[in-house]
Amino acid sequence: MPLDVLIVDDSAAIRKILHRVLVQADVPLGNVHEASDGNEALERLKVDKVGLILSDINMPNMDGIEFLSRLKANDAFKLVPILMVTTEGSQAKVMQALALGAAGYVKKPFTAEQIKEKLTGLI
Amino acid sequence: MTDNVQQEDIVTAVGTAAQAVFSTMLNLPLELGAAHHDATEPDSFDGVVALVGVAGSWTGGGRISCSPRFACRLAESLLMSPYESVNEDVLDAVAEVANMIIGNVKTFFEERLGPLGLSVPTVIFGRNYRTRSSGVQKWTVVPFRCGDEAMEVRFCLMPARNHTAPASHADLVQTL
């Protein structure tokens, strides 16, 4: 069954790279939606249901940590796996994201293999 | 520099971060040049500059500069599409490269300085412009070569007088 995915990152370059990696990883992709911050992502999710979210942390307007906590507080989305893909590498942020319910964490720069490996257990 | 942040530490952190980004995401060779201090700002830039601020109990930031041609090459390698001139994709690619390099340098120093924040990157492209970062007394300048092209990373970090959010650099650019 095709998997609809939401990629949340303020960098269009990273959104494009992650889309490419998903294709390379042989993920059975359906629609791939994009958002440039947490606010836009929440708006997008009102319209488009997805089965996987890849999100940055350091973004303007609403960062990935707040986006993650709002998502996990919403019954409609709390079971959607969220993989954090971010430059933010401090141990405190990693622990915070995992405590809030992130399914995994990949630090930039990343290889396609690292993303594939994290996705294996999620989809 | 202070005991907590020595120039050698900055050079090590910048070199390691840049090498990781270039080998992992760009698949481009990168050669580290001779690092030095610079207490002055360059008179003018022609090309692409990306700035990322760092803030917390220590404050400062990083700046990456390169030619338009090398910026296009970075974008080609990152996005796997050809670019003959600087456009939004190219600027976004340079901004992301700066974000990853400076972000990893920030993470390196967080281990000894405590939590630090990172601004979103600001990227500038033009001719004959000057950038100025308020309060910076001394940059550590780390030059790199990638084939026949050059890239320079400048970084500074100093104790904060007041803890503030990372500043945008957009208002610090002066067109000459």
> Taking the domains of chain B in order of start, what are their residue ranges?
7-160
pTM: predicted TM-score of the whole model, two decimal places = 0.90
> With an 8 Å Cβ cutoff, are A11 and B110 in contact?
no
Q: What is the pLDDT averaged over residues A68-85? A: 95
What is the tens place of the pLDDT at every residue in B41-62? 777 788 999 999 999 999 999 9
Q: Which long-range contacts (CB under 8 A, 24 or more apart) does B68-71 make?
A: B68/B125, B69/B149, B70/B146, B70/B149, B70/B150, B70/B151, B71/B47, B71/B125
Q: Nearest-CA residue of chain B relative to A9?
A: B96
User: Cβ B120–A14 below 8 Å, yes or no?
Assistant: no
The C-alpha of B108 sits at a distance from chain A's nearest C-alpha, in angstroms, of: 9
Interface test with chain A among B23, B106, B107, B122, by most A beta carbons within 10 Å: B107
- For residue B88, the chain A residues in CB contact (below 8 A) are 12
Q: Residue A99: what pLDDT?
A: 96
Amino acid at B83: Y
Q: Tell me which CATH homologous superfamily contains domain B7-160.
A: CheC-like (3.40.1550.10)
| pLDDT single digits (tens) A21-61 | 999 888 889 999 999 999 999 999 999 999 999 999 999 99
